[in-house]
């Protein structure tokens, strides 16, 4: 279950205002947190882990200010990227000559490597709620578009951002019930989804798909869903995609693809994964062949050797007998 990372009241906020960084100051970055307008302090932060990622939930009845300056950055080299999801109230982020307002239902990104000033304001009912995901910045360098401005608000009430917010909320609440490795992998998938959505808004948009390209995607999707059916055939795919057999052949040829190539490649790739999987080693090769959509083990062996240059039995023996490499 989530743990209470920080609980600040008027009587203790001066002595405890830096505790949000966690044990050994590694869970968050340094900065100055203080109440605004001399308000009575009433706020708390709960924390939950999802693999190597941290999910925080902040609730405050107090208007708050947070500042990270160059002196903080020079003193503290923690380098993380924060995805904010504002659920109640509003958050303003100011840096350089820019100021953004992130309202309820919005998502925004901040970086510990850049100075900024933030104000967190409760709503008309006197409550601010925000959830944020802490990501090591080195994971974001290959992914995040440099054009994404810190604090820029993005709508998180629909689509990929909404899905990410809802999933992170579930991971936060169910920490003890979810395998940490699985939770970490799920967050990585969500990050890819978040970045693609943000890039589509602020980056250079990709040219729209043609009708033919969408049809190819439909064909590939149906094959990927149905490849294990030994009776799968080209007419079945055309019928389920709502196109004629002639048009199916036309769009595949235009994309330098073939129906048989798509099917056999998908079946061989899946069989290859299963042959190398210790959890599947109790299944004889004939069963692997059938599960992957081949009508006979002889046909499977022939196709596997053509595409992989080795018989499936020899491939399995090599994979399962190979020593497991250990990370340095």
The CA distance from 273 to 136, in Å, is 31
CA-wise closest residue to 110 among 138, 139, 79: 79
**CA–CA distance, 310 with 63 (Å, rounded to integer):** 67
- Residues 221-247 as b or e (16 or more Cβ within 10 Å = b): ebbeebbeeeebebeebbeebebeeee
Q: In whole angstroms, give the CA distance from residue 20 to residue 7.
A: 9
Q: Strand pairing partners for 7?
A: 44
Q: Which residue has tokens 């020593």?
A: 323
Contact 230, 295 (CB under 8 A): yes
**Predicted local distance difference test score (pLDDT) of residue 235:** 95
- pLDDT, residue 104, reads 95
Residues of the chain with pLDDT under 70: 1-27, 39, 146, 203-207, 323-328
Contact between residue 294 and residue 228 where contact means Cβ atoms under 8 Å apart: no
Contact 203, 145 (CB under 8 A): yes
Torsion of CA 7, 72, 137, 46, to 10 degrees: 0
Mind listing the domains of the chain with CATH numbers?
A: 3-202 (2.60.120.10), 211-321 (1.10.10.60)
Could you tell me the two tokens for 33? 């947190």
Nearest in space to 194 (alpha carbons), one of 159, 147, 169, 151: 159
What would the two tokens of residue 104 be?
Answer: 């309820």
Q: How many residues does the chain have?
A: 328
The predicted pLDDT at position 328 comes to 35
Q: What is the pLDDT of residue 21?
A: 57
Q: Which of 118, 133, 6 is nearest to 64 (CA)?
A: 118
Neighbours of 143 (CB within 10 A): 15
Nearest-angstrom CA–CA distance, 68 and 118? 9
Structure tokens at 211: 């009708």
Q: In the prediction, which pLDDT does 252 show?
A: 95
Q: Identify which of 40, 8, 189, 252 has the alpha carbon closest to the alpha carbon of residue 244.
A: 252
Residue 212 CA to residue 37 CA, distance in Å, equals: 60
């Amino acid at each position: 279950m989530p743990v209470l990372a920080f609980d600040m009241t008027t009587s203790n906020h001066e002595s405890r205002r830096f505790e949000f960084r966690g044990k050994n100051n590694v869970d968050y970055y340094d900065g100055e947190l203080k109440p605004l307008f001399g308000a009575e302090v009433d706020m708390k932060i709960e924390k939950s882990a999802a693999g190597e990622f941290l999910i925080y939930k902040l609730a405050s009845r107090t208007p708050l200010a947070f500042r990270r300056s160059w002196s903080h950055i020079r003193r503290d080299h923690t380098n993380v990227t924060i995805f904010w999801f504002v659920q109640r109230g509003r958050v303003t982020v100011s840096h350089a000559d820019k100021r953004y307002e992130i309202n309820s239902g919005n998502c925004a990104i901040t970086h510990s490597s850049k100075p900024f000033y933030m104000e967190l304001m409760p709503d008309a009912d006197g409550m601010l709620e925000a959830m944020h995901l802490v990501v090591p910045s080195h994971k974001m360098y290959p992914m995040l578009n440099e054009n994404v401005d810190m604090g820029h608000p993005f709508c998180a009430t629909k689509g990929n951002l909404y899905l990410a917010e809802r999933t992170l909320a579930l991971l936060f609440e169910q920490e003890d019930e979810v395998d940490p490795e699985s939770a970490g992998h799920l967050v990585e998938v969500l990050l890819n989804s978040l970045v693609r959505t943000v890039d589509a808004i602020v980056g250079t948009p990709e040219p729209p798909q043609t009708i033919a390209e969408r049809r190819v995607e439909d064909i590939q999707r149906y094959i990927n869903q149905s490849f294990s059916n030994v009776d799968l055939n080209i007419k079945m795919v055309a019928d389920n995609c709502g196109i004629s057999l002639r048009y199916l052949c036309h769009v595949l040829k235009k994309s330098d693809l073939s129906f048989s190539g798509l099917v056999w490649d998908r079946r061989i790739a899946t069989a290859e994964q299963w042959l190398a999987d210790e959890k599947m080693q109790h299944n004889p090769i004939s069963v692997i062949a059938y599960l992957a959509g081949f009508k006979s083990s002889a046909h499977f062996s022939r196709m596997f050797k053509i595409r992989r240059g080795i018989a499936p039995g020899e491939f399995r023996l090599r994979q399962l007998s190979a020593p497991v490499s250990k990370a340095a």
